Amino acid sequence: MNAQVPSDIQLDVLREVANIGCGHAVDALARLVGGKKVDLAVPRAMVTAAADVAEQLGGEEPVIGVQLGMTGELRGVMLFVLSARDGASLGAVLLGHVSRGAEMESALRETANIVASACLSAIGKLTRWKLLPTVPELHRGSAREVVSTALRETEGASTSPVVVLEARFTAASAPPVSGRMLLVLERESSRVLLQRLGV
């Protein structure tokens, strides 16, 4: 594999990994919101820079991001991102009432933990690796600030291209809630993952 940029075929494989992993994550999210239907857009696999990821998430728009690291054979971060409004809406769905304080933040952290665990478990089944998320950290701010904070400890993320597996979901709640799950792999981890998958 090219040390810098995966080929189109390799990106297709990573996209399929995202599809399987995020499909499991969406199932977990559907259970959390009381069995309501959760739609998953076709996941994307991108090679991009951290600044570009931030712009795609809204730039200066206020968001809530829950960041989780990984333990096991892969290194990188998972980032569960919602607009500030959708974060409050999801919190209300989960709690059964409107809350904007510590109670809502706790619910969102737990949601991200369950969704990330489901995603990593699905990837683990493909690779026969045991992959687990670290303790979730919630961040508020602009999309640019939240992404910068999440990627600060990801090797090469600030200056080099990173592989981003992105899935957008919509929960059929009232009102609808939309968010994204990003799996950002360090370059060496993306190489190891592709090697494990035989490409």
Q: What are 43-65's pLDDT values in tens digits?
A: 677 777 767 888 888 889 999 99
How high is the mean pLDDT of the chain?
Answer: 82
- 122: tokens are 């699905």
pLDDT confidence of residue 49:
72
Separation CA 105–CA 95 (nearest Å) = 11
* Whether residue 3 has pLDDT greater than 50: no
| Higher per-residue confidence, 16 vs 63 | 63
Cα–Cα separations (whole angstroms), residue 20 to 55, 101, 109, 128, 155 = 26, 33, 22, 14, 25
pLDDT confidence of residue 135:
94
pLDDT confidence of residue 1:
42
Task: Choose among 195, 184, 193: nearest CA to 155.
Answer: 184
Separation CA 114–CA 25 (nearest Å) = 8
Contacts of 185 (CB under 8 A, 6+ apart): 74, 75, 76, 162, 163, 165, 193
- pLDDT tens for residues 84-99? 888 888 888 787 777 7
* Whether residue 115 has pLDDT greater than 80: yes
Residues written for the chain? 199
Q: Is residue 164 within 8 Å of 184, Cβ to Cβ?
A: yes
Cis-peptide, bond into residue 6, ω within 30° of zero:
no
Separation CA 173–CA 162 (nearest Å) = 33
pTM of the predicted model over 0.75: yes
Residue 146's pLDDT band, with cuts at 50, 70 and 90, is very high
pLDDT confidence of residue 8:
81
- 67: tokens are 């960041």
Q: What domains appear along the chain, each with residue ranges and CATH number?
A: 8-196 (3.40.1550.10)
One-letter amino acid identity for 173? S
* Whether residue 2 has pLDDT greater than 50: no
